[in-house]
A and B are shown apart, each in its own frame.
Chain A
Amino acid sequence: DGGITQSPKYLFRKEGQNVTLSCEQNLNHDAMYWYRQDPGQGLRLIYYSQIVNDFQKGDIAEGYSVSREKKESFPLTVTSAQKNPTAFYLCASRGTGFGWYGLNEQFFGPGTRLTVL
């Protein structure tokens, strides 16, 4: 099952610790996204990257950081500054370019469930 992979599936963190969630894709997509999924709040965008070495803050970027050094990888770090980090985190990617019908479809990974102890 290729496409987008996220690891680990479950992650436990002590308060005050930083943790990094992995997201890898082999779809040759330029754009990648990180969302947070909470019950009753839907998916909220944390960070996104349209191209390598560039990324933008989403709606809830405080307490998070990202990097985009490679096209295939978009890791998310949840820092100790994030006040309520327990959530389900979803990574997505999207192809870019012109003249492609499925251009605006995002493909999602299986998610990482982060729990702060």
Chain B
Amino acid sequence: AQRVTQPEKLLSVFKGAPVELKCNYSYSGSPELFWYVQYSRQRLQLLLRHISRESIKGFTADLNKGETSFHLKKPFAQEEDSAMYYCALSPTRKGGAGGTSYGKLTFGQGTILTVHP
């Protein structure tokens, strides 16, 4: 069974400081990893996914298969980054979990990021 762990429930930084939200996973196959974000009074939305290797709002995340991690990083945090962040895992289409599990997300517990002025 897959599992996603976000060890920090709360994370506080000051504006302009670097921020790293940790995510570790366990999965026997080759997963797809995502970061979702929920701003205050807004719906949950996708921030970025590992397969696209993109930077969204200054955030990046690298999949480290050796350490089974997918940490989210931003070199200079902004106040508008304050939100709840979820790391999520999905079996791949070629994964051992099979076709019916493709697209099914397993979420971590979430990290509330607060960026102070």
Interface residues contributed by chain B, number (CB under 8 Å): 23
Give the nearest-CB partner of B45 in chain A.
Answer: A108
Chain B residues near A108 (CB-CB < 8 A): 43-45
A43/B86 in contact, CB under 8 A: yes
For the complex, give the distance between the alpha carbons of A56 and B97 in Å: 14
Q: Cβ of B107 and Cβ of A31 under 8 Å apart?
A: no
B5 to chain A, nearest CB (A): 10
A40 to B107, CA, bound (A): 12
**Binary contact readout B20-48 vs A (1 if CB under 8 angstroms, 0 otherwise):** 00000000000010100000000111100
* Contact assessment for B103 and A31 in the assembled complex, using a CB-CB cutoff below 8 Å: yes
A42 touches B107 (CB 8 A): yes
Q: Which chain B residues lie closer than 8 Å to A103 at the CB level? A: 103
Q: Are A104 and B32 in contact (CB under 8 A)?
A: yes
Contact in complex: A106, B46 (CB < 8 Å): yes
> Known interface pairs A43-B86, A56-B100. Does A106 touch B105 (Cβ–Cβ under 8 Å)?
yes
Task: Give the residue of B44, B103, B109 whose beta carbon is less than 8 angstroms from that of A90.
Answer: B44
Q: Are B104 and A48 in contact (CB under 8 A)?
A: yes
In the complex, what distance in Å separates the CA atom of A56 from the CA atom of B27? 20
- Contacts known (A56-B100, A108-B44); A40 close to B9, Cβ less than 8 A: yes
Given known A-B contacts A40-B109, A42-B109, A105 and B49 have beta carbons under 8 A apart: yes
CA distance A13 to B103 in the complex (A): 32
Chain B residue at minimum C-beta to C-beta distance from A4? B43
- The one of B4, B90, B107 in contact with A104, judged by C-beta atoms closer than 8 angstroms, is B90
Q: A43-B105, A108-B45 are in contact. List 16 more A-B contacts (CB 8 A).
A: A35-B107, A40-B109, A42-B6, A42-B86, A43-B44, A45-B105, A48-B104, A58-B104, A92-B44, A96-B103, A104-B49, A104-B103, A105-B34, A105-B49, A108-B44, A111-B43
Q: 6 A-B residue contacts at CB 8 Å?
A: A40-B109, A42-B4, A44-B107, A104-B90, A105-B46, A106-B103
Q: Using CB atoms and an 8 Å cutoff, list the residues of chain B in contact with chain A.
A: 4, 6, 9, 32, 34, 43-46, 49, 52, 86, 90, 100, 102-110
